[in-house]
Amino acid sequence: MRSKDRISYFYDGDVGSVYFGPNHPMKPHRLCMTHHLVLSYELHNKMEIYRPHKAYPVELAQFHSADYVEFLHRITPDTQHLFLNELAKYNLGEDCPVFDNLFEFCQIYAGGTIDAARRLNNQLCDIAINWAGGLHHAKKCDASGFCYINDLVLGILELLKYHARVLYIDIDVHHGDGVEEAFYFTDRVMTVSFHKYGDMFFPGTGDVKDVGEKEGKFYAINVPLKDGIDDPSFTRLFKTIISKVVEMYQPGVIVLQCGADSLAGDRLGCFNLSIDGHAECVRFVKKFNLPLLVTGGGGYTKENVARCWTVETGVLLDTELPNEIPQNDYIEYFAPDFSLKIPNGHIENLNSKSYLSTIKMQVLENLRYIQHAPSVQMQEVPPDLYIPDYDEDEQNPDERIDQHTQDKQIQRDDEYYEGDNDNDHMDDV
């Protein structure tokens, strides 16, 4: 048992100010709400807080195709009508709209996950949190399911420089298809996704029979669930499967995607999980005492998303939080009872004991096929991408510099509290 976990937490207020559009369920504002709730419970005093660097196009192209990254960089709401063919090619439109500051939004949330992975790689922390990340549907050459850049794949690629085996766990209500697809042919990443499957539910993939191919055969695990699963059923299944996975696969690091759309009452979800049930999965994964990268994901009832990720920040800090929400800038969103916990849902649980038992047996049977911890010939570790930082002395005084570059020089009073744990202005890349 480690004496005390060192936790790095990544946040940039700009990520919460983008707007997908009036009728779009994705509300990045939930990230500001989460952060202010974390601050109101004074959890920031127990963590190191960082503003992530904005990932450079060359970093995004470690997974995504260069032409797709370049298009995201170039497209704006004002020019999109000139690129109808490209919009269709890259799947931009209703689900994945073009909005103001789209590329910067991608750079920030992806930068957070990349920075989190680098801090873990360099043993500068034990747990790294980026609630803005977890956009698991994005593919190599196109957007999907409100996701443009797959920060999880980029973070895992970073972790693979130092770790022979990475375990990816996904508790979003939707299948983690983009991450699974990226590593479908390798045994160096095991992907485990617990999700709703069937009834044409997005994205339509993630059958228990989909197990990976070639070197990756049996290294993709899917746990397809029906509507209405509750805390006892979900957590029991989760613990049984994840225990066996860690025992057999022996990962060097875990990436945990904590999509909050699996909570009861989610605008797009159909499960009955309470925040306690969801957080129990986080608590269980933490107990393995392996380096851990934690991200957000889906979640479309935004006050419940903020509640959930705040509770889970507390879990990662071994801190029990009082149920009464302290005063904060978004307190009115938590009316009328201003409490942290939410009740379980009332959707009928269509997951019978025999169905869950069958799924469990199939997954455990597939795990028997994998070698105990595949060995990998570790090559020389490639360097973290060298990207020159802003140098005040070399700056041309007649040239304007963008706001984010200026912000790197100063602390922002609206986001952080002064103190030893505020590392916002330290260079960490």
Binding residues for a divalent metal cation, as ranges, are: 172, 174, 261
What is the residue whose two structure tokens read 């649980």? 349
Determine how many CB atoms are found less than 10 A away from the CB of residue 411.
Answer: 14
β strands within 90-180, DSSP E: 127-130, 166-170
* CA distances from residue 18 to 30, 56, 105, 310, 325 in whole angstroms, order as listed: 11, 19, 7, 21, 26
d(C-alpha 147, C-alpha 247), whole Å: 32
**Binding-site residues from annotation:** 95, 145, 172, 174, 261, 300
CA end-to-end span of the chain: 29
Give CA 165 to chain center in angstroms.
19
d(C-alpha 147, C-alpha 18), whole Å: 14
| List 136, 137, 163, 195, catalytic entry | 137
Radius of gyration of the chain (CA): 21
Question: Contacts by 22-29 with C-beta closer than 8 Å and gap 24+?
Answer: 24/97, 24/146, 25/146, 25/267, 25/268, 25/300, 26/146, 26/300, 27/300, 27/302, 28/105, 28/132, 29/302
H/E stretch holding 154: helix 151-159
**Binding-site residues from annotation for substrate:** 95, 145, 300
β strands within 296-428, DSSP E: none
d(C-alpha 5, C-alpha 125), whole Å: 7
H/E stretch holding 249: helix 231-249
Residues in CB range of 120: below 8 A, 6 or more apart:
126, 128, 159, 253, 291, 292, 293
Annotated active-site residue 137? The verdict is yes
Is residue 113 within 8 Å of 155, Cβ to Cβ? yes
Between strands 189-196 and 166-170, the pairing is parallel
Phi and psi at 221, nearest 5°, equal: -120, 130
Least Cα distance to 141 among 206, 59, 61 occurs for 61
Catalytically active residues, by annotation: 137
